[in-house]
Chains A and B, each alone.
Chain A
């Protein structure tokens, strides 16, 4: 059951990921990206991290992507035209891609020669309690620094927007 669900979510994520690049309309790309986020949330859920899954949906799919879609609609961006592509990309693209994937695979196998099998439901650190405990004890300093960073970003956005209004 877990394996079937994993395959469903993984295939959806990969297909949506490809669609993000290949779709010509910006709205289609943005919605495919939401599909990627949603399937990632499903995978988190399978791995035993329900809080992370819900946060993924709320933050990425529910907030960030809404703004993306909003901007695309307000600008009324039309379909993009497909360029014929340069000859260099056609000739060197495929070998370069194969080389990159091979290099990545090689590095990963060098770093983790005997990968441990992932067991679904074997991880119990993803509950809201565990995450809250980790954030407010072990990772308190990074957490606080991140919040200050976000605050700076908010203030910066307000300052920039305010100048334009003047």
Chain B
């Protein structure tokens, strides 16, 4: 098939899936936070609030697009565009799965594999600070400016330990291509411990993973490092003056960044699309069984409904889950869906961790945040890098 046509199809599929995922990620987050706080969360629009993202989109589209007086018009409009486009670019180097084929067409489940993939993602993420800085400055108002300056300082400070933690994983993998990094993690120790970089010899990157996890919370401006938009002190931080679609741009950029960094963590440390235990112990059957159990539970609750409407909606969901479970058993789809399932499961778990932390931890104070980055995180990352480099040089 034509190379360009194939690229266009892949890009369309990834973009469509990513956009839907971003919209529903927000629904998932509201549900997770609600259940942590013993509430129900969105429940009114559609069954279990499932149409809530659609309602939110319509609300944001039809809201008045305010342009406050005194703003620098060009940069004020540029900032959200910059935020969303930079947040979406990185996804094009993330590998979702191995090489697959549909008939005679062979292709990788990845938009493109750069031989500098990791550095590309770091470069794009180092640019994303401009969106925040420009938004704060162009608003010509004190809270946005304070929020954006805080955020810029925070992102620059945490980029350093993040880069050093990533360098540790790269030393173990010995390549910069994201696809290559996943492929070096495909082995198993003693037949069952996966050789993911978290467990990979000569020096398991478990500290590197912890440091990376902490820094990505700061890089995406999420709780407990959401000083950029600390609403109790700064109203809403750098996007105080934004409304309607421009606000939605920042909102989407935050979630897109979350997806990217979680996918990066999965690829760098958790073995990408590799299953956590070998196929001969039946890891290929896990996705089917998981979906079948989910379907059975939904149908059971549909037969004993707590609310009247559940009599209809829950069996419908159960049927959908059972259908997905059946898809995983079809030999034609299995080699495509199973790696994708493991990749999405790991990324999804990390995304859940983001929400979990948001529902659990309070916000840092600004001086605590900076002291933590420079006095603890940076030396720890440097030490991790040194020990890894020494052991790789001695053993590898």
- Footprint of B on A, CB under 8 Å? 27, 31, 34, 50-51, 53-55, 57-58, 61-63, 66, 69-70, 73-74, 127-128
Contacts and interface: CB of A to CB of B under 8 A. Distances in A.
A61 B126 contact: yes
A66 B122 contact: no
Contacts of A73: 133, 137, 145, 149
A50 B123 contact: no
Nearest to A38: B127
- Chain B's interface: helix, strand, loop or mixed, by majority? helix
Contact of B115 (A55, A66, A128): A128
Contacts of B116: 50-51, 53-54, 128
A41 B149 CA distance: 27
Contact of B119 (A34, A51, A69): A51
A123 B147 CA distance: 45
Contacts of B176: 128
A127 B127 contact: no
B307 to A, nearest CB: 52
A133 B156 CA distance: 29
Given A57-B123, A66-B130, A69-B130, A27 B114 contact: no
B127 A62 contact: yes
A55 B23 CA distance: 33
19 contacts: A31-B134, A51-B119, A54-B119, A54-B120, A54-B123, A57-B123, A61-B127, A62-B126, A63-B156, A66-B126, A66-B152, A69-B130, A69-B133, A70-B133, A70-B152, A73-B133, A73-B137, A127-B115, A128-B115
B115 A50 contact: yes
Contact of B123 (A31, A34, A62, A128): A62
A50 B123 CA distance: 12
B129 interface: yes
B75 interface: yes
Interface in B281-331: none
Contacts of B126: 57-58, 61-63, 66
Interface string B345-356: 000000000000
